[in-house]
Amino acid sequence: MSTAQALVARNGASALSLREVARELNMASSAIYRYFATRDELLTTLIVNAYNDMGAAVEKADAKLSTAGHRERFVGVARAVRRWALRHPHDYALIFGTPVSGYVAPAGTIVAATRVSAVLGRILSQAEADTTTASPSAAERAMVDVDAVTAVTGPLSGPRVIDALSAWSAIYGLISFELFGHFVGSVKKNDTFFDAALHSWADRFGLPN
Amino acid sequence: MSTAQALVARNGASALSLREVARELNMASSAIYRYFATRDELLTTLIVNAYNDMGAAVEKADAKLSTAGHRERFVGVARAVRRWALRHPHDYALIFGTPVSGYVAPAGTIVAATRVSAVLGRILSQAEADTTTASPSAAERAMVDVDAVTAVTGPLSGPRVIDALSAWSAIYGLISFELFGHFVGSVKKNDTFFDAALHSWADRFGLPN
DNA sequence: TAGAATCAAGAGCAGTGCTCGCATTTTTTG
DNA sequence: CAAAAAATGCGAGCACTGCTCTTGATTCTA
Question: What's the pLDDT tens digit per position in B139-151?
Answer: 999 999 999 999 9
Question: What mean pLDDT do residues A128-149 have?
Answer: 90
pLDDT of residue A25: 97
pLDDT of residue A131: 75
- pTM, full prediction: 0.96
- Is the C-alpha dihedral spanning B171, B148, B122, B44 positive or negative? negative
Beta carbons of A148 and B98 less than 8 Å apart: no
pLDDT level of residue B157 (50, 70, 90 thresholds): very high
User: What is the DSSP secondary-structure string of A170-208?
Assistant: HHHHHHHHHHTTTTTTTBS-HHHHHHHHHHHHHHHHT--
Which nucleotide has the least CA–C1' distance to A37? C18
pLDDT level of residue A101 (50, 70, 90 thresholds): low
More confident residue, B78 or B129: B78
A/B interface, count of CB pairs below 8 Å: 155
Beta carbons of B170 and A173 less than 8 Å apart: yes
Chain B residues touching A101 at Cβ < 8 A: 12, 14-15
Residues 6+ apart with CB under 8 A from B124: B74, B153, B156, B160, B164, B167, B205
Chain A residues touching B189 at Cβ < 8 A: 142-143
Q: Which residues, in sequence order, are bridge partners of residue A187?
A: B144
Is A100 a residue whose pLDDT tops 80? no
Chain B residues touching A105 at Cβ < 8 A: 181, 184
Is A130 a residue whose pLDDT tops 90? no
A148 CB within 8 Å of a chain B CB: yes
Question: What mean pLDDT do residues B124-131 have?
Answer: 88
pLDDT of residue B39: 95
Instruction: Output b/e per residue, A178-201; b: 16+ Cβ within 10 A.
Output: bbbebbeebbbebebbbbbbbebb
Rg (CA), chain A: 19
B172 CB within 8 Å of a chain A CB: yes
pLDDT of residue A59: 98
- Looking at residue A33, what DSSP letter applies? G
Question: What mean pLDDT do residues B17-25 have?
Answer: 97
pLDDT of residue A134: 79
Beta carbons of B99 and A181 less than 8 Å apart: yes
B-interface mutation test, from A47, A91, A98, A182, most B Cβ less than 10 A away? A98
Which nucleotide has the least CA–C1' distance to A29? D10
Is A75 a residue whose pLDDT tops 80? yes
Backbone angle region of A132, left / alpha / beta, with phi > 0 → left and psi within -120 to 50 → alpha: beta
Beta carbons of B184 and A105 less than 8 Å apart: yes
Which nucleotide has the least CA–C1' distance to B39? D18
Question: Average pLDDT, whole number, for chain A?
Answer: 93
Question: What mean pLDDT do residues B150-155 have?
Answer: 95
Least CB-CB distance to A193: which of B103, B144, B189?
B144
pLDDT of residue B99: 82
User: Of A18-32, A128-142, B107-121, which one has max mean pLDDT?
Assistant: A18-32
Give the span between the Cα atoms of B20 and B16, in whole angstroms.
Answer: 8
